[in-house]
Chain A
Amino acid sequence: DQQVKQNSPSLSVQEGRISILNCDYTNSMFDYFLWYKKYPAEGPTFLISISSIKDKNEDGRFTVFLNKSAKHLSLHIVPSQPGDSAVYFCAALIVNNAGNMLTFGGGTRLMVKP
């Protein structure tokens, strides 16, 4: 059972426009949600996170929105740049004493066209 889902495998956006990446989850016990960016043949890079008690977190061009009632979060990138082209993973975290295990979505490939 996939607890974290990214239903769009790919997204194409024009440079300068907004990119919206979506993520849905099923487990209401998640404490934090994170977005990672991954280039080919590299490890994922942490972008931004949001606590489950918040509904918005902003960092520069990146904003994450959380809708707990819908069990949905999204990452907005404004304005989009060609260097943003990568695979974006949504991840969810339950905080416990056994270590913070992340559950990842399947990823969305973002292509920003010049």
Chain B
Amino acid sequence: SQTIHQWPATLVQPVGSPLSLECTVEGTSNPNLYWYRQAAGRGLQLLFYSVGIGQISSEVPQNLSASRPQDRQFILSSKKLLLSDSGFYLCAWSQGSSQPQHFGDGTRLSIL
């Protein structure tokens, strides 16, 4: 069966520090991969998606970037975090264009 792992579960970082959140999927090959953010009291906003290694599409202009160095690995990064980057970050995967997305357990990021 397929599983998705995200880490860390929680992270507290100072403003201006770098960020690296990692997501890996097991039990499938060539998945579509996604990064979402849920700000407090709001719905899920798609940040990035990837349909293959090295292929990244960005949905919103922001302080973050994403990379897909391997087929089942998706990384969310920032060189300098802002206070507004605080939130709950979720990685998701799907197999095929009409299949549901399945989510990891998320990372709670707090910027001080």
Contacts and interface: CB of A to CB of B under 8 A. Distances in A.
A97 B97 contact: yes
Interface string A75-114: 0000000000000010101011111111111110000000
B46 A102 contact: yes
Nearest to A43: B103
Given A41-B106, A99-B32, A99-B51, A46 B100 contact: yes
Nearest to B98: A95
What DSSP secondary structure best describes chain A's contact surface?
Answer: loop
Interface in B3-62: 6, 9, 32, 34, 42-46, 49-51, 57, 59
B79 interface: no
Chain A residues touching B, range: 20 to 34
Nearest to B96: A100
A44 B90 CA distance: 9
Contacts of B50: 99
B73 interface: no
B98 A104 contact: no
A43 B43 contact: no
Contacts of A43: 6, 90, 92, 103-106
A104 B99 contact: no
Contacts of B59: 101
Interface residues of B, number: 29
Contacts of B32: 99-100
Interface string B81-111: 0000000001010101111111111101000
Interface of A: 6, 31-32, 34, 36, 41-46, 49, 89, 91, 93, 95-107
CB-CB nearest 7 A-B residue pairs:
A43-B103, A106-B43, A104-B44, A46-B100, A104-B43, A99-B32, A95-B97
Given A98-B57, A100-B96, A100-B97, 17 more contacts: A31-B98, A44-B44, A46-B100, A46-B101, A46-B102, A89-B43, A95-B97, A97-B97, A98-B51, A99-B49, A99-B50, A100-B99, A101-B59, A102-B46, A102-B101, A104-B44, A104-B45
